[in-house]
Structure 1
């Protein structure tokens, strides 16, 4: 009789242990799924924990393999966080050249991550000073992000062309030398989109260079490095933004 009671007690303890383990696994799994989906409320709560958010992020991908899915994730996370502009650059200009593919992947990720709130956000895609605006279900409010796709021709080469054109105009008396100011060059390089200069660049890859990414526009830009954009997690992206938010930038006089 006593032995049966002990066996039943052991059985109850083991059963309770299995139950606790299953519950723990369930809640861990639920938490991971929730983290992966990154609901809008969850992302906005994270945004409030960051000391300062960049207005404009430059994404510089210096890797041979490009992941449209991971770039789309960055765009949608940034949109939900309240970041206004992103410039996406790769050294071969593939993202810019294949903007239709990126647009399709971004639209898919917008629904996956933002769920029912995806219709509240609009995305403007800019290539070659042309704007491709697309809205989910035709609805838009003030939640908007500008995506500028940049290639090698938009960086150092653009500066060379601009210098040649200005020199020619001065030589042919079409423009006075004193009219060429920093503000004038800023206005030309901003083009029709008038996007602000990047506050933050996230460089993906092991190359210790930006390889021609918008040299004029990044004079005061903070630069952070990450080994790869392929498989970038939401947690890693938020960690990079915290690093930027904790940076004390000194611009001098």
Structure 2
């Protein structure tokens, strides 16, 4: 823009001083016309690219708002379809298993008769010498402690009828250990209801780590019995019930570590002698079941039972959850999970103890193939 010359400047100032009465509007335009820059704006007809720029910006802004919305809706639809398909599959599987297991329960029911249980397991190639089960403490709505103890009593009766000499029950809280005497009495009544009164009913011994064992009083040895009146074999069946809890896992290792450390500091044991074999022997000693002695102080003939590693572990639940089970006792154990049969069709995840689940676990154990590597 060129500077104003002296004449035009004087005319402009006089017009301003007079309040715009000296020059008219057209004269003022002509005065400033020579000093204005050339016009650079174009009409839409002359520059179509500049006219389309606002439309493009508007279209881009619209796409930025629509695409995330459509993507979110697409993800929601895909998630809903996946959830629907798997939900239908799980429900159909639960219905199928519930139907099959109910039919199996009708076909194979014990009727509180040991002969029926023996008939169901007589063709099995092997029976576990040590059976372990994992149970959960139920809420008061599901029966609480009474329901838990009744399940343990039922398992004891089934195990005794199937010829299993040792049954260990794992319950995380350890509440069964505080009721060992009532539990022993309840199990004894359950055995009598199945087998009949003594001496037909199996003898029972209930024990737990770091707890004194509870055996029936004034009864002969479970391994040596006199001949019965009917001339049958006087050998009376015997069942050992072993109670485990979460404290038997972690706390046992802590106590053993503390004891060995104190003995090493007191120079009662050489630290080099603390080996894996020693630790294994000490841990096994806490769960050992020694055969009862006769009146003359000698052990009866027969195999000595030890509560070591169980041959079979039954998890009464929908998933395999050991829930703090002592790890050194299940290194070589066969683990069987009840699965969907432990809950109803609604998938509540109940842990009911049923005979057909117990029987299926024995069938699976009999048909399992064991590969012991080095």
Q: Shorter-chain TM-score: which interval?
A: 0.7 to 0.9
Post-superposition CA distance 1:46-96 (Å, at most 9, x none): 232222111111111135345221221111111121112111111111122
Is the deviation greater in 175-184 or in 104-113?
A: 175-184
Which whole-Å CA distance do the structure 2 matches of 1:62 and 1:225 have between them? 14
Matches within 5 A, 1:1-253: 35-65=109-139, 67-115=148-196, 119-127=200-208, 128-134=210-216, 138=219, 141-142=222-223, 143-190=237-284, 191=286, 192-193=288-289, 194-206=306-318, 208-227=320-339, 228=342, 231-253=352-374
CA separation in 1, counterparts of 2:257 and 2:337?
A: 31
Moved more, 40-49 or 73-82: 40-49
Asked if structure 2 preserves the Cα contact closer than 8 Å seen for 1:62 and 1:206, the reply is no
Stretch moving more, 160-169 or 78-87:
160-169
CA distance, structure 2, for counterparts of residue 236 and residue 208 of structure 1: 14
Deviation at 1:208, TM superposition (A): 4.2
Question: What RMSD, in angstroms, separates the aligned Cα atoms of the two structures?
Answer: 2.8
C-alpha contact 2:166 2:241 (8 A) present in aligned 1: yes
CA distance in 2, matches of 1:62, 1:151: 11
State which structure, 1 or 2, has the greater radius of gyration over its C-alpha atoms.
2
Structure 1 residues 142-151 or 204-213, which shifts more? Answer: 204-213
Structure 1 spans left out of the alignment, 5+ residues? 1-31
Shift of 1:231: 4.4
Partner Cα distance (1:94, 1:133) in 2 = 19
Q: Deviations over 1:116-171 (max 9, x none)?
A: 57634111110334111116x83554321211111221112211221222233223
> What runs of 5+ residues in structure 2 fail to find an aligned partner?
1-105, 140-146, 224-236, 290-305, 343-349
Scaled by the length of structure 2, the TM-score of the pair is 0.53
* TM-score, structure 1 normalization: 0.76
1:98 aligned counterpart, secondary structure: helix
Displacement after TM superposition at 1:224 (Å): 1.1
Distance 1:166 1:80, change over 3 A: same
SS at match of 1:96: helix
SS in 2 for 1:58: strand
Other structure's SS at 1:138 match = coil
Greater RCO (Cα-Cα under 8 Å, separation 6 or more):
1
Distance 1:39 1:165, change over 3 A: same
